[in-house]
Chains A and B, each alone.
Chain A
Amino acid sequence: MRNNILKNTLSKILLVIPGILIILWVLLPIYWMIVASIVPEVQISRLHLFPRLDQLSLQNYIELLTPGDIIKVKARGIQRYLWNSVVIASFVTVISLVAGSLAAYAISRIRFRGRDLFSGLILFTYVFPGTVLIAPIYLYVKSLGLSNSFAGVIFMELAGILPFISWLLMGYFQELPIEIEESALVDGCNRLQVLLRIVLPISLPGLVTAAIYAFVASWDAFIIPLVILEERDLWTLPIVLRHMIYGEYIKWGQLNGVAVICAVVPAVLFGLIQKYIVRGLAAGAVKG
């Protein structure tokens, strides 16, 4: 009897250990970043795992928001670059959602010649590593007169994001019950009406999920804006972060602050759709 209890407790402890290790592995680095961002720069070289509470301050964030600080790249204050990121990501989201949902509907609901070819094209371009084509992309965007413009970045980011969104929505539409659409067709609605009045409204959760993926993918885009946007005022957050590293002197507190700001938007957006994420991942359809 006593032996049994001992065995039970032991196996429970063994079960808990991997969980604790996973939590430490995931959360310690993130904790360390957040702590560094709320400790004044002068104290950062003596930072410990548990800083004293009176050490903490929002000084780094205030400095980031103040234009004309000593680090030359953020002469405009971080809000400027935050705004640039938001604008680009919003356009990418809207365009990929509109074009992607139309294409996904055609492939998942209409039987037509070339349908296999189109669905193959979507899948192929979803996995295709378009960023290796950065040299032709640079020349191409220049020849279109779109260097140093948001339009150029938005257009080229669609290369990776639009097929991804179409692929995601194809999977989503295929899971919707087809009966409602069929009866609407029998009742004399045309395809366009079915799409606009029935399919899109009932797909709202899927569309929101896809929109969030598109937004975050654009938010995290790096090499495309890096190459196209040479003018400092047009930079997105990731580009600013990179330029803050290669100054004469790294301000770790501010740098970690920018990293936190970069992470907040995706964290909030993914938090909103948390229960759909695992399902989407399980469908094997999600870019990691």
Chain B
Amino acid sequence: MKLKTRDTLFAYSLFLPSLIIIVGTIGYPFAYAIWLSLLEKPVGFEATFVGLKNFQELINDAFFINSVKVTTIYMVGVLAGKFLLGLGIALYLNLKFRFRGVLRAILMIPWALPWVTTALLWFWMYNYQVGLLNQILNAIFGVKVVWLGPELALLSLILIDIWKGTPFWAIVTLAGLQTIPQELYEAASIDGAGSWQKFRHITLPGISGVLSILFCLSFVWAYMIFTPVYIITNGGPAFRTQSVLHRIYTELISRHSFTYSSAMAVIMMPLFLTAITILVILFRRRRGIS
């Protein structure tokens, strides 16, 4: 009993530094955001409590609604792309052939690059005059594409995230594929199952665990996208690529409206918290943390 108390005390003291940092860097700003979102503070005036006024304004704010729409399209595009391409590459890397290890190592390079480098190198790829994409298109088809113009800019950003995020997705999916016992496929073959049936009834259920984790993680990451937007398009042209976080940042920097900017963060929370709660449940089931 005495030993147990001592252990508990020791455990708490080990956890204390982390707890202080977590409360100080996440807990406090989170609570502060909720408090700020209920205030109004015009520049040069005292802050006043206004209740839910900021939120009422938010749901009628065309700029904010636009940023939510843009980010939702972005999220759907990125998740669909990473899922399809990641699954394809994982199935391919699961085949047995030479240089598979080398290919896997090369595939990891975009994942290992910093976001700023990724953003800049695609900014350069998309360059209208000199960019490699237009040079190739021009050489083969004699056309040039305005990658960062109003029609294509959002798609161009989505393609960057797919380029950077698919390696992680593919490698994790591959790890999921490798946990499926080979005997299942053999037994299915004996029973006369075709490749589609095997894929549908053995492969997909076998990787559904890792896939749901990947979807939740990528969901949160896609909704908080900022660096490539800020570096490449700065939200433009005409707000067509303005993500939620870019909107929050713009509101903060250009108008110094801390209260309104906080309200935007708070209104997004239910979405994030739902995704994170699902993730925590999925992870715990997987790792077996009681």
Contact = CB atoms under 8 A, between A and B. Distances in A.
A64 to B, nearest CB: 14
B117 to A, nearest CB: 4
A238 to B, nearest CB: 4
A266 interface: yes
B32 interface: yes
Given A47-B130, A112-B11, A120-B280, A223 B120 contact: no
B171 A32 contact: no
B161 to A, nearest CB: 10
A281 B116 contact: no
Interface stretch (B150-158, B181-189, B191-199, B224-232): B224-232
A262 B110 contact: no
B109 A26 contact: yes
Contacts of A174: 287
B120 A222 contact: no
Interface in A124-172: 124-125, 127-140, 155-156, 158-159, 162-163, 166, 171
B236 to A, nearest CB: 12
Interface string A217-239: 00110110001000000000110
Interface in B219-277: 220-221, 223-224, 226-227, 230-231, 234, 244-245, 248-249, 251-253, 258, 261-262, 264-265, 268, 272, 275-276
B25 interface: yes
A133 B11 contact: no
Nearest to A174: B287
Q: How large is the interface on A (under 10, 10 to 19, 20 to 34, 35 or more residues)?
A: 35 or more
Contact of B33 (A135, A227, A242): A135
Contacts of A111: 7
B114 A219 contact: yes
A53 interface: no
Contact of A288 (B135, B217, B227): B217
B257 to A, nearest CB: 8
B201 to A, nearest CB: 24
B165 to A, nearest CB: 6
B62 interface: no
A103 B14 contact: yes
B122 interface: yes
B130 A140 contact: no
Contact of B7 (A26, A124, A139, A191): A191
Contacts of B125: 29, 32
Contact of A28 (B95, B120, B132): B132
Given A23-B106, A103-B14, A256-B120, A131 B114 contact: no
A266 B112 contact: yes
Nearest to A23: B106
Given A158-B21, A192-B10, A222 B171 contact: no
Interface string A24-43: 01111110110010000000
Contacts of A162: 18, 21-22, 25
Interface string A233-277: 000011001100110000010011011101100110010001001
Nearest to A269: B112
Nearest to B160: A29
B10 A125 contact: no
Contact of A121 (B22, B104, B108, B120): B22
A256 to B, nearest CB: 6
A110 interface: yes
A270 B122 CA distance: 22
A124 B21 contact: no
A118 B123 CA distance: 42
B163 interface: yes
A155 B25 contact: yes
A237 B18 contact: no
Interface in B92-147: 92, 95, 97, 99, 103-117, 120-125, 127, 129-130, 132, 135-136
A249 to B, nearest CB: 14
A202 interface: no
Contacts of B264: 132
A30 B136 CA distance: 16
A192 B223 CA distance: 42
Given A48-B135, A103-B18, A223-B226, A159 B25 contact: yes
Given A102-B18, A166-B18, A242 B231 contact: yes
A204 interface: no
A173 B187 CA distance: 38
12 contacts: A15-B95, A26-B106, A47-B130, A102-B14, A112-B8, A121-B19, A136-B29, A216-B112, A220-B116, A241-B120, A263-B114, A278-B104
Given A18-B88, A135-B36, 4 more contacts: A102-B15, A128-B276, A159-B21, A216-B114
Give the 3 A-B CB pairs with smallest separation, nearest first. A282-B175, A159-B25, A288-B168
